[in-house]
């Protein structure tokens, strides 16, 4: 649905800065696509090129095969009506009520009053805020403010929803509820969602695919399962370790003390819950020592990863047995 072909962005000045190096990226209709990076990585710049709040310095932006890179006037207004956006700090109008905030883009679009009121009522019901319609932003919690922002972004029935660090100002429990709402909107409306974040945990919970940015470069991309479970770039590995609350130095120290062959086992789906370790150990005579491990979910799919040290018995046979059971085996060095 969305395709970036060699898109890059330079900021002019005494010393011009390249905020985003050429990016080739495609985002499919109906998927939740995450962009992760540290501060200054270029993720906000990338997101804002999708609705042309930032004009690319070069390359092409295609929406459903149509080049919209130079869209202006009526074409630009039509493009932005199709692309809703929610923000880290909500950007609500403090002098207007919740209902008036949600109605604002409908008024700008010239929606008749009866249709406008019906649409606002529907949207507030969808985000669970009908009882707060006459309140002002200052009377709301952070999570409620973000729900108002989501309702407002959906007012003109967009095809795409852009989320600019939409959960970074929220506590963990509120973050979970907002991510759950975004997942429901994706499933129920077929909405394409593009979100940027600096937290791999957010990516893991809600996204289908992810792109990793580092200093303006796209350094890794793929399905969340592949990128999260088998990161290839150092930046991605750091994000994964942070999400798993693992201290890299401590992990390396533990691995250095381990004896035998150290491997990482990755389980997906129902294999996550199979009693495989004990079965393989009994069949091959190997001993194992668990050095690190986690069982969790990537979106709706369970996964498990164990780092173990194998010793004694027939280690090669044990590794084959794991692989034959559909478990990915990687040597850890």
303 with 297: CB under 8 angstroms?
yes
pLDDT value, residue 246: 78
User: What are the C-alpha distances in Å from 184 to residues 32, 178, 229, 251?
Assistant: 11, 10, 25, 37
Residue 8: count of CB within 10 angstroms of its CB: 20
The three-state secondary structure class of 196 is strand
165 with 88: CB under 8 angstroms?
yes
pLDDT value, residue 253: 83
Instruction: Round to whole Å and give the CA distance between 203 and 240.
Output: 10
pLDDT value, residue 180: 94
DSSP 148-189: HHHHHHTTT--SEEEEESTTTTS-HHHHHHHHHHHHHHHHHH
Report pTM: 0.91
For the chain of 333 residues, list the mean pLDDT of each consecutive stretch of 10.
96 89 96 96 96 95 94 91 92 96 94 95 96 97 95 95 91 92 94 95 95 97 95 93 82 83 92 91 95 89 93 95 94 84
Structure tokens at 183: 């997942």
φ, ψ (nearest 5 deg) of residue 248: -60, -40
Q: Domains in the chain, start-ordered, CATH in brackets?
A: 2-242 (3.40.50.300), 250-331 (3.30.70.260)
The three-state secondary structure class of 133 is coil
H or E element at residue 279: helix 276-284
227 with 299: CB under 8 angstroms?
no
- CA torsion angle 216 219 222 226 (round to 10): -130
Instruction: Round to whole Å and give the CA distance between 17 and 254.
Output: 42
pLDDT value, residue 134: 97
Sheet with 83-87: list strands edge to edge: 83-87, 160-164, 192-197, 32-36, 209-214, 217-223
The contacts of residue 328 (CB under 8 Å, 6+ apart) are: 229, 230, 265, 266
The per-residue b/e assignment along 204-234, b for 16 or more CB within 10 angstroms, e otherwise, is: bbbbbbbbbbbebbbbbbbebbebbbbbeee
pLDDT value, residue 168: 87
In the numeric block, the tokens 């942070």 are attached to: 242
């Amino acid at each position: 649905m969305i395709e970036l072909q060699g898109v890059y962005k330079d900021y002019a000045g005494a010393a011009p800065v390249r905020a985003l190096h050429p990016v080739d990226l495609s985002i499919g209709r109906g998927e939740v696509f995450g962009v992760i990076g540290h501060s200054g990585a270029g993720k906000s710049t990338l997101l804002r090129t999708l609705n042309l709040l930032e004009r690319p310095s070069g390359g092409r932006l295609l929406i459903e095969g149509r080049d919209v890179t130079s869209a202006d006037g009526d074409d630009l207004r039509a493009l932005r009506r199709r692309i809703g956006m929610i923000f880290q700090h909500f950007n609500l109008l403090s002098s207007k009520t919740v209902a008036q905030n949600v109605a604002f883009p409908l008024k700008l679009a010239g929606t008749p009053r009866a249709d406008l009121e019906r649409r606002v009522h529907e949207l507030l019901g969808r985000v669970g805020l009908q009882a707060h319609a006459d309140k002002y932003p200052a009377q709301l919690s952070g999570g409620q403010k973000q729900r108002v922002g989501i309702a407002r972004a959906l007012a003109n029935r967009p095809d795409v929803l852009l989320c600019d660090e939409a959960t970074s100002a929220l506590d963990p429990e509120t973050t979970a509820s907002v991510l759950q709402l975004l997942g429901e909107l994706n499933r129920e409306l077929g909405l394409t969602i593009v979100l940027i974040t600096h937290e791999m945990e957010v990516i893991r919970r809600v996204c289908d695919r992810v792109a990793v940015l580092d200093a303006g470069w796209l350094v890794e991309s793929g399905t969340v399962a592949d990128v999260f479970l088998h990161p290839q770039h150092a930046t991605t590995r750091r994000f994964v370790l942070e999400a798993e609350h693992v201290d890299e130095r401590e992990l390396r120290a533990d691995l250095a003390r381990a004896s035998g062959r150290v491997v990482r086992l990755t389980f997906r789906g129902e294999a996550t819950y199979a009693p495989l370790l004990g079965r393989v150990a009994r069949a091959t005579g190997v001993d194992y020592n668990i050095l690190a491990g986690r069982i969790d979910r990537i979106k709706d799919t369970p996964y498990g990863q164990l780092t173990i040290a194998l010793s004694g018995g027939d280690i090669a046979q044990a590794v084959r047995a794991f692989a034959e059971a559909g478990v990915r085996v990687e040597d850890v060095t």
